[in-house]
Amino acid sequence: MQTMTQDLALAEAASLLRPPAQVMRLARLGCAHPTRLSFLRVLLRRVRREGWTFDRPLWQVDARGVGRAVYRARGPQRSYCLVAFAHDLPDEMRSDRVIATAWDATFALFDGEPSEADLARLAANVPLQEAGRITAAELTLSRANRSVRLFAHVVERLAAGQQPDAAELDSVGYLMRTTAVYGSGKFGAADRDRIAQRPELAAPFQAEMLTVWLIREFTFDIVEHLARARGGDRAVRLDPALRRRLGVGNSTGLGMAPFLVRHPNLLNNWIAARETALARVRALPSATPDAVAAFRRALGKACDNAAAWKSTHDLQLRKLADLRADLDRVTEWLKSWPGSVPYPWDALWQRAEAELTLEGQEALVSLLIEPHGPLVDNLAETMGADEEALARLDGSMSLDTVQALLEDSYRWALQIDFSEPENQARFWYVSAEKLEPRIGDRLAEAGAALEQPLCIARMACEFHAAIRDMPRDMTLAAFLLQHPQHRFMARRLQMVRAAPYAEIRDNLIAEDVLPIDMMRCKLAFFGASHFDPRSDKWVRISLFQGEPSPGDLDEESGS
Amino acid sequence: MILSDIKTAAQTHPADPIRLSCNETAALCFKAARGAGMAWGLAEEAAFATGWLCAHGIDGAGALLRHLDAVGDAGSGDLRPWPQPGYWRAGHKGILCPIRLGASLLDHAGSAQDPLAAAIRTDAVSMPVLLVPFLAEAGRRRGDTVQLSCRELVLALDKGPPDLPVLAALSRIPAAPLWLAPAAGTRPASAPDAPLPGVAPGTVAALEAYALRITVPATEASRRGAGTGSNDND
């Protein structure tokens, strides 16, 4: 009986899915908020549920803060160790950019428990980052820089036997920020194919999230270590309540933006999971008192978070103003909600769609999902994707069908007039100097001939035009044999049939495109809070802020 | 992400082979293939083929480099196959690109016009080992086995594990005509567990040189956009 009720609820939820035309607009994706399906939340739920244990088997750091440490995470079947190298970095060498050659700390996540020989090998390579090599025994490679001012403040206070100023902590939100966390085979690390079958690594970016969570512990340990080195017996440890207010920062440039375009199946699965979660909640005929209470708590936290969220960037300041005003409205609505209205969650959602800005609406997506763990958490298992397996072309498709598909799935693209200069004002390229993705001005800058294939809308138009005068019954395979330049788009077109949320439905080379919208979307799925653009192409965020430490989990399970 | 920065670790000799992961191999080969003039969609196929070979312990990166170097400035159209019943011939250059041939064969695999439903011969194929991943995938898709014959070598390809010594021998043949035929039966699927192949540093450098052809020299404006000038000591 219960199963049947659930099935009915799921069927009903399917009709409540927001359509891709609404969801996949850049402006809306650029308002994404972390949810309980975000990857760091998925990790934290698993380690709690499975009773993972954590310790620090090695700490060899001198009074200057130079040395090495190992943080061990033991799961039910396997262990993983973060190997950390702490460095003494002169200020003039500190850069968040990919061109940097030295960092305050460097890390690798080791698959299992490293031997002394492994540690020696890693010591010769990990501090070099991109200029070193790791092996299939490592899952990630990363580095972090101090937030100089806050780090110094905390060391100074702790050394003097005092706690740091809470307002100072909140104004930055982290002691160190990572500037890259490489996984998936990069620089010799283990290929994802070889580890994706492990349940703990099946959801996206779990090795990266574990890395960052353990780096957070390192940032607390190193700051306390330096305070003790300076203050001796007077030094105190960081108050656990203050610790919890600190996450790990992350500084990210434009390179992250193309990821979503290059991984359409992954993007589809992320969005589909979130949208399915929202639809399941909206399909609930009633709201239990527990869920209502949890929703109010989540809203309260969201209001606090929005109040503490700082940015100096105009675009973000406007969005923050929208968000705060919208959260105030929702708070007001709750005075008379749920009342006796049927489908109360859906009623709330409908009202949000009618009255709130995109910021408020997308924040509400996250809030509605939050109290419904048992209903939605299994969706995390659907968020991974094997890009290769789905990428094979069906060459037997007729051009007639290809055209119909294009006119259906890419109508939004075919409506764009690419003879208008503003519709292709920009171009994406890779810089010869740093080999990093950048976006340029087509008229003002050279190099448009070397454009990267991120101009999906224009490629769809070109493909559409190319098949227009071809025989209707010609197969796609025969066409591509003559016109291989359309192969890339043909593959995407076929893939979108089974992946409705795969494509960002906006012109990514338009004059007014904002790459940070793509970054915000991706980072929200990671679980990033406090999205803080430094420009329209460069952002800082915080991960794990407000979340427990490994030690907190031990206490939870012990209490 | 930045393969041009690959250097050997302090304790290894500069000439030692590099153990590129399959992901690195595919990413490098994608960029190199495009840099050498392949369409983006074919560059994706080159990435697929080289990544597959890497997963089976074969230096696919080296194979792709030898192919790109061998065909030089031949246009993509010069290397396309011209399918005829039972015979896929080359254009006036007399040689076929294994990526274009493999992609075309696979595009048809399992369909009514599947060329692999009967035996076919081909004109000379450049670096025929690069065709193997497509044929293995075609076998998987067709639910049977595709047999590749090249000189004295015979390789049965399906969703099961390939004969690695034969695959290694095939990887040493620079160009040859092929005989492809369907064969009954199929073996159980297996996950590749071969050790990663060593790739010569010179191969990596040469592929990076191809990849650099699709990069754009920096300007002051692009450097500013990328974050130059911001202070990270805050």
* Chain-chain contact of B219 with A445 (C-beta, under 8 angstroms): yes
Minimum Cα–Cα distance from A151: chain B residue = B234
ipTM associated with this complex = 0.92
Looking at the partner chain, which of A186, A193, A438 has a beta carbon nearest the beta carbon of B1?
A186
pLDDT tens over chain A, length 559 residues: 344 455 556 666 778 999 999 999 999 999 999 999 999 999 999 999 999 999 999 999 999 999 999 999 999 999 999 999 999 888 888 887 777 888 999 999 999 999 999 999 999 999 999 999 999 999 999 999 999 999 999 999 999 999 999 999 988 899 999 988 999 899 999 999 889 899 999 999 999 999 999 999 999 999 999 999 999 999 999 999 999 999 999 888 787 888 999 999 999 999 999 999 999 999 999 999 999 999 999 999 999 989 888 888 888 899 999 999 999 999 999 999 998 999 999 999 999 999 999 999 999 999 999 999 999 999 999 998 876 655 789 999 999 999 999 999 999 999 999 999 999 999 999 988 778 888 889 988 888 889 999 999 999 999 999 999 999 999 999 999 999 999 999 999 999 998 999 999 999 999 999 888 999 999 999 999 888 887 767 788 899 999 999 988 877 765 4
- Give which of A392, A455, A532 to mutate to test B binding, by max B Cβ within 10 Å: A392
The shortest C-alpha distance from A23 to chain B (Å) reads 27
Contact list, B113 vs chain A (CB under 8 Å): 396, 475, 477
**Contact assessment for residue A182 and residue B1, using Cβ atoms and an 8 Å cutoff:** yes
Cis check for the bond before A437: say yes or no (omega within 30 of 0). no
Contact list, A429 vs chain B (CB under 8 Å): 215-216
Looking at the partner chain, which of A94, A128, A488 has a beta carbon nearest the beta carbon of B232?
A94
* Chain-chain contact of A396 with B112 (C-beta, under 8 angstroms): yes
| Dihedral angle sign, alpha carbons of residues A415, A421, A425, A431 | positive
**Contact assessment for residue A427 and residue A440, using Cβ atoms and an 8 Å cutoff:** yes
Flag whether residue B39 sits within 8 Å of chain A, measured between CB atoms: yes
Cα angle, residue A303 at apex, residues A301 and A309 outer, rounded to 5°: 100
Flag whether residue B40 sits within 8 Å of chain A, measured between CB atoms: yes
Residues 6+ apart with CB under 8 A from A166: A242, A245
CA distance A179 to A192: 21
Residues 6+ apart with CB under 8 A from A401: none
Flag whether residue B228 sits within 8 Å of chain A, measured between CB atoms: yes
Residues 6+ apart with CB under 8 A from A120: none
111-130 of B, contacting A, C-beta below 8 A: 111-113
The shortest C-alpha distance from B211 to chain A (Å) reads 10
